Structure 1
Amino acid sequence: MSLHFSLLTLFPELLRPFTSEALLGKAAVKGLLAFDLIDLREYAGNRWRKVDDAPYGGGAGMVIRVDVVEAALQALHQPPSTPPDEVILLTPAGQPFTQKVAEELSEKNHLALLCGRYEGFDARVETLVTREISIGDFVMMGGEAAAACIVEAVARLRPGVIGDEESWRADSYSSGLLDYPEYTRPAQWQGLSVPDVLQGGHHAAIERWRRSKALERTWARRPDLLPTAGLTPHDSASLLALGLSPEQLSEIGAPLPPPQRRRRKKSAPPTPEPESQG
């Protein structure tokens, strides 16, 4: 079954090329994804297609009316359309969008995303949605770019959209860590070399190197991810080797590293008995 996106916006043409090109466009042709670009102006209820009005209490800017949004959402419930599983309001006040949220939404069949403009929506729109999402602590001119981020992050998790499911399971955040560094040809470039371990063909050594580098990057750039990364005892050993103290391991909830094996002392060869002289 395809994943259906309904994108409600004042500027559907901003999203049309995004949903029709590259992997999203190919997935739509295959029937894996479906996109409806819904112009909120079609539900304005007046000949001027005016969807906004001045805010009560005064202030700068205009506010998108709740009755316009209600009419657009009601149309999604009309046959032959299947009602959305989630109606998502894109707003700086929403829950942070994370990989975990993307994975949760990828299990749905129909997602409706409300893209705001101007000063946003009438606050009563919040009663019409199932959740509110923010893609970061910053403000944009509208919700279309935020919707594009969510569509791509969610759609790529659906079977068949990117071809190799294992490729996204190993991605940053899906694994709980930042991704390890990648290299390709040329092996030498401006004095910078591809690490020898990646050219040696020893798969177990490559996997150990990649895991260690993912831990190193995460500790250096996003240490806040480590407490929920599902660290193993071998990861703890790697983090100790990177310079973390046992106290820091405890603070991030890392397990104890595996016990070090004691090296057996080689027994001295027996002393030859002196030859008897006759």
Structure 2
Amino acid sequence: MTSYDLSGRKALVTGGARGLGAGMAEALAKAGASVVIADVLEDEGKQTAQALRDAGATADFVPLDVADDDNWAEAVPNAVNTLGGLDILVNNAGIEVTNLLVDLDPTPLRAMLDVNVVGTALGIKHAFRAMRPGGAAGAGGAVVNIASVAATIAFPGIAGYSATKSAIDRLTRVAAAESGKLGYGVRVNCVYPGLTPTAMGMKLAVDTAELGLFGSPEEAVEAVVGLTPGGRLGQVDDMADAVVFLASDAAKFITGAGLPVDGGMGM
């Protein structure tokens, strides 16, 4: 049986300063990978990288605005130089803005499209260029995109966010097809996390209550749990473990797939 050992692998995690991204970076490091955290939150990102180093991991930080192509063109070579290669990209960076469609504000919708969709697409672009034969790393690898259960359910107040996360699902599958057809040797998969009590997850509960969809944030959380056969919210390590699996050789014949980690909510 193939293990989830990532010893010797080199990983870049976007949005890795806090929340799910920090948990994913920690899980990759515990599995043996060297990790570079990429984020717009420089102070928090550096602190998270330091915490990983304090725990015995090889870790560093690079600043990255995922919606900026020039930023990617600097961050990926920096990560390759820092780590001595690149085998894993986790496209985790994302934002969520809650709106009723009747009150839709196009400005935050465009921001979500820029970060969630354009940011993920640019990550795939630069990972392919680095990991494919002849690239700066050149040994193939794995891209794990972070979608959401919002891509698989209809939940009020998150139409724009749901649309961006559905787009990540399609990006994942087309990217997997292109990588295979062109011989890049890069597997591309995505994870659909369920609601997790991170700062972003709890903001969603507050926002939907403020929109009048629920009587309180607690009621919003109870509604999500009620829709989840697993009977609870997700935890950061639930999502992080799935990322480690998809990045590992245990998933060596899995590409173009979406893995729900949502307690059955999106089935």
- Do both proteins adopt the same fold according to a TM-score greater than 0.5, normalized to the shorter chain? no
Q: Which has the higher helix share?
A: 2
TM-score by length of 2: 0.32
TM-score by length of 1: 0.31
Higher RCO (CA < 8 A, seq sep 6+):
2
The structure whose Rg is larger is 1
